[in-house]
Structure 1
Amino acid sequence: MKRLTAYGFSMMGAAVLAACAGAHIPPAPVAPPVSGLTTRDSSAVQLGTALATVEQDSAADQSALDSLHERSPDSLAAPRTNVAVRGEDVRQEAQSLFGNDATATFDIDVSNFAGNRRVLEYLEFFQLDSRDRFTIWLSRLGRYEGMIRERLRARGLPEDLVYLTLIESGLSNTAVSRARAVGMWQFMSSTGRGYGLVIDPWVDERRDPFKATDAAVNHLQDLVQRLGSVYLAAAAYNAGAGRIEREIRRLPGEPDTVDDQTFFQIADRRNLRRETRDYVPKLIAAALIAKQPGRYGFTEIERLPPLVFDEVSVPDATGLDVLARLADTSVAAMLELNPQFVRGITPPGRGVVVRVPRGRGAQVAERYADLPVNERITFVDHYVTSGQTLSGIAQRYMVTVTMLQAANPHLRSHALRVGQRIIVPMSGRVVPRGAWSNPPEPRMRRVSTRYRTASADGTRHRVARGETASAIAKQHGIGLMALLEANDLTMRSVIRPGDVLLIPSR
């Protein structure tokens, strides 16, 4: 693979052209002129505005995903679409889905389980409750589907596992769950690093659609080989392989074979968390609609085209807004091509590969070679600490409050939050490495609220001062690993007084 180099100034042949998939980012609005801002300062404002747009879009995705994951059996009334769910009616429904007039084919077992009550309930949820957002997610398939299917096919996996991304993240590279899983494939940091993804304050490859897909496909391949079933592997992707294996061992008798039906057998026993019990029904429902959107009333899907790009090597910290200017494109386009640069800038002190729109690689490399060092950066980001004010932050960086407000369109000067990120325009200066601050480690509840309401899945324990995970596990007569797995923790995780842990059934 050949790339264009933005330093050393030697052209290394034709730029790489590839199709990629990224979360759809609407064009960023053009910010109005602000007194005191230079042209390069305005570049930082555009970046701040584009980042705010991405944040809003991700929040809308997460709201829909939370609704999807939090649905309980009690919250689901009788289907409103008049789809029957028992006996002969189920057979007729399956016939209507897969009869002679059905044109879609699947390489996961959809037909045998299409009449499952939970599948039908999630079909209704996508069609009615979450219709607007699911329409957006279906449009994003155009960005991603070809690339993901190619990688699944190369590993000998069913290509329809692409639809896991619909229920994991809505195909959003910037999705962040309550448990801090990130990206289109919703990797926890420990699992992502285990599959070779770089995760640091500058680069988070869980957000890179290519590298995250490679990691996810490798993970799924390992799970299929370990468990012997695609649906069991999908459940393990959500809950962990150890938990699924334990539930298989709890089945009465000695099963002769383990297959996709085994998932529904263990799900019916209700020892798994509700989210895991419903994971495969969600997948089947999403696959049914994605393969035949018109059949389910999604008649106006505008699939986004695959992204195509060149790659350019960048040697040191450079803002994506600067690279956008060199490529004659928008900041939003650069963020969509490079979501892995979590701060809108390449990391200082190390070279990375940056994607630019197709046909612009040579232009960017040539212009970068002539770019003064003090014009590579137009901003720094500042993370608010306790007691800080906007005017104090402005004084620290020798800018005006108006400039800060322009670069941060949703900033409320009298309601700063500890840990909040603020873009600070810094045009025309050589930014020393010490000027960059690291984002604070988020303090969070290790168990999301969707687990706390599921009393049937186990009891809850509120951590007291001085307690450890091993002591809590011993107190409740369960293994330490079972406790950690039930709460998405690892041996390196920290629990704090007041945290609420789910105690799994023995």
Structure 2
Amino acid sequence: MHKEATRSGAQRLWKQGLCLLLAYALLAGCSARQGGGTEESLSLRVPAEEAATPLSPAEQAALQSSGPIDRNIPADAMQEVTLQYKHFLNKGRPTMKIVSKRAENYLAYSRKVFRTRGMPEDLAYLAIVESGYRPDAVSRAGAAGAWQFMPYTGMKYGLNQDWWMDERLDPYRATEAAADYLQKLYGDFRDWPTAIAAYNAGEGKMRRAMEGTGTRNFYGVCQRNEMLDEKAQLRDETKQYVPRFIAITKIMRNLPQLGFEPIRPESAPLVLRFTARPGTDLMGLSRACGISWEDFVALNRHHRRPITSTERSTFVYVPQRVEHQATAFLRGSGSTAFAQWQPKKVQTSSDSWAKISKRSGVSIAQLKSVNPGTDAIYAGDTILVPRSVNMSASAVNRQGGGSGKSNATRERRPAPAAVASSGKMHTLQPNETLYGVARKYGVSVAAIQEANDISNPNSLRAGQSLRIPGTVAVAERKNPSGRLGASRSGRSSKRATYTVRPGDNLWNIARRYDVSVDDLKRWNNVDESALRVGATMIVEAN
């Protein structure tokens, strides 16, 4: 068992009101390559009238301060920095107060990560631009965490995302991954403003813009951006991203001089990182430490279940004050009571918690406690059960009926035969609505409800499987010979066309069709930064 000191706060400053939601409009987030805005964006551009706001001598001195990243800024770029700077000192001041205070919980660790790698410590402020240092931030494009990693980029830099966890929501692991990515980008471009712009736009986009303009860095591209065709140009979001970061950096370095409350990252509440063995009972850990489940979750948002992965060791975080209790619990044999459990799919709607309890010898109460929010289970659901439990339909059928009234209220009516023969299955995604699913497949909400016996659409939950009436799994397109194309492996394949929707990225499209990202790139001659809503892509699904 390993523990490492980090700094964070159990305080949840995100509860400071709806004003915070609007405040994030000024934080642009990332582009399609890496992330996206974390809130509803009012405007990416700061109102021009703020340019006339005069600066006090202290404000002017802070603006002229410089570090490894914000020195030697060209005059035209400095105008944009000044505009952003004035905005955060005036209309954006309430937001700056909130995000600087929240950053206090993470800056000591972030600075240490960059410092130990020989990178500028000011890079720690980039997470303010990305998310306001919100570990739970999720953008409309699918980026997540304080550093707004898109799924594919997160996996590429070691952030696990599966049924058990999403390490993009671990602010410490995400900081380490961001340092890896930024270090790689600096190696590519040998210039920090350009590397930061590439973090937003994607390295491919940045490299092509430099080649197209014949320039050597981000500032040069901005000066000649109009030379490029519309597709190749850097978007306004990226052009403002670096000046916004520089403006925030200058403010963060001079908070007291600019009239903000000083922050003391080294004095923030200390949090310890432990390595938990597979199948660790997280609720048991929170009880052993004497902290509420809500407070525990606030420190461990990357865990999606009350049990850690039964496949590998993972990190958990607890306040330093409960170090001894956490150590004792994690060393005890009882901490991994669920090590021999695993996620399994419910194979038939005839199954129930009562039947699983009989097959496993585990009480219904305990089964439900490790599967919160699943009072009823349905075919296609993934649940956590002992490895030894036979979840096959035949095992359920051998049990027969006898599940009583709870089964009658739990089970759905079988779908009509016509629907069963022609329908496609859809797995409900987080924040997805029945209306959105209906629009996606061109069917009515009522038809989906009837096909799945849904009386209350608000009872749906992420991960639930829905049968879509009157659809086919893949839209087949024949080649001139009238035969479906064959994959390189010799297996028959179906060629489909897919229309890119808001929030899509190559990784989730590839996962939807069980193909690789590299295949999508090869078939369509496209990369992440060139993905556009409404574009048509070719997918050869096996």
User: TM-score range, shorter-chain basis?
Assistant: 0.5 to 0.7
Contact 1:445/1:500 (<8 A) preserved: yes
2:66 is the counterpart of 1:25: no
Task: Choose from 205, 219, 232 the match for 2:194.
Answer: 232
Tell me what 1:65 maps to: 24
For the residue of structure 1 that corresponds to 2:317, the secondary structure is strand
**Deviation of residue 218 (structure 1)?**
1.0
For the residue of structure 2 that corresponds to 1:360, the secondary structure is helix
For the residue of structure 2 that corresponds to 1:173, the secondary structure is coil
Pair 1:359–1:105, CA change in 2 (3 A): same
**Deviation of residue 332 (structure 1)?**
3.3
**Deviation of residue 219 (structure 1)?**
0.7
**Deviation of residue 211 (structure 1)?**
1.7
**In 2: Cα distance, 1:226 partner to 1:94 partner:** 39
Question: Aligned Cα RMSD in Å?
Answer: 4.6
Letter matched to residue 461 of structure 2: Q
**In 2: Cα distance, 1:330 partner to 1:346 partner:** 18
Pair 1:382–1:102, CA change in 2 (3 A): closer
Task: Choose from 297, 320, 324 the match for 2:286.
Answer: 324
For the residue of structure 2 that corresponds to 1:112, the secondary structure is coil
- Once the two structures are overlaid, the 10-residue window that deviates more, 374-383 or 223-232, is 374-383
**Deviation of residue 395 (structure 1)?**
4.9
**Deviation of residue 166 (structure 1)?**
0.4
Question: What do the CA deviations read for 1:396-434 (whole angstroms, capped 9, x no partner)?
Answer: 6999xxxxxxxxxxxxxx97536536xxxxxxxxxxxxx
1:274-313 equivalence runs, <5 A = 274-299=236-261, 305-309=268-272, 311=274, 313=276
**In 2: Cα distance, 1:61 partner to 1:502 partner:** 37
Task: Choose from 100, 118, 129 the match for 1:138.
Answer: 100
Tell me what 1:108 maps to: 69
**In 2: Cα distance, 1:182 partner to 1:58 partner:** 21
Contact 1:138/1:290 (<8 A) preserved: yes
Tell me what 2:534 maps to: 500
For the residue of structure 2 that corresponds to 1:143, the secondary structure is coil
Letter matched to residue 52 of structure 2: N
**Deviation of residue 307 (structure 1)?**
2.7
Aligned residues: percent identity?
27
Tell me what 2:220 maps to: 262
**In 2: Cα distance, 1:118 partner to 1:395 partner:** 64
**Deviation of residue 285 (structure 1)?**
1.5
Task: Choose from 52, 61, 69 the match for 1:82.
Answer: 52
**Deviation of residue 170 (structure 1)?**
0.8
Q: Normalized against structure 2, the TM-score is what?
A: 0.58
For the residue of structure 2 that corresponds to 1:308, the secondary structure is strand
Contact 1:79/1:121 (<8 A) preserved: no
1:119-268 equivalence runs, <5 A = 119-251=81-213, 254-255=214-215, 258-259=216-217, 261-266=219-224
**Deviation of residue 230 (structure 1)?**
0.7
For the residue of structure 2 that corresponds to 1:340, the secondary structure is coil
Letter matched to residue 525 of structure 2: L
Q: Normalized against structure 1, the TM-score is what?
A: 0.61
Tell me what 2:525 maps to: 480
Letter matched to residue 164 of structure 2: W
Letter matched to residue 156 of structure 2: G
Contact 1:324/1:334 (<8 A) preserved: yes
Pair 1:78–1:212, CA change in 2 (3 A): closer
Pair 1:81–1:485, CA change in 2 (3 A): closer
Pair 1:248–1:174, CA change in 2 (3 A): same
| 5+ long unaligned stretches in structure 2 | 29-40, 338-361, 379-404, 411-454, 467-497, 505-516, 538-542
**In 1: Cα distance, 2:153 partner to 2:207 partner:** 18
Using CA pairs under 8 Å that are at least 6 residues apart, name the structure with larger relative contact order, 1 or 2.
1
Pair 1:103–1:121, CA change in 2 (3 A): closer
**Deviation of residue 315 (structure 1)?**
3.7
1:447-486 equivalence runs, <5 A = 447=502, 480-481=525-526, 484-486=528-530
**Deviation of residue 131 (structure 1)?**
3.5
Contact 2:105/2:269 (<8 A) preserved: yes
**Deviation of residue 21 (structure 1)?**
3.8
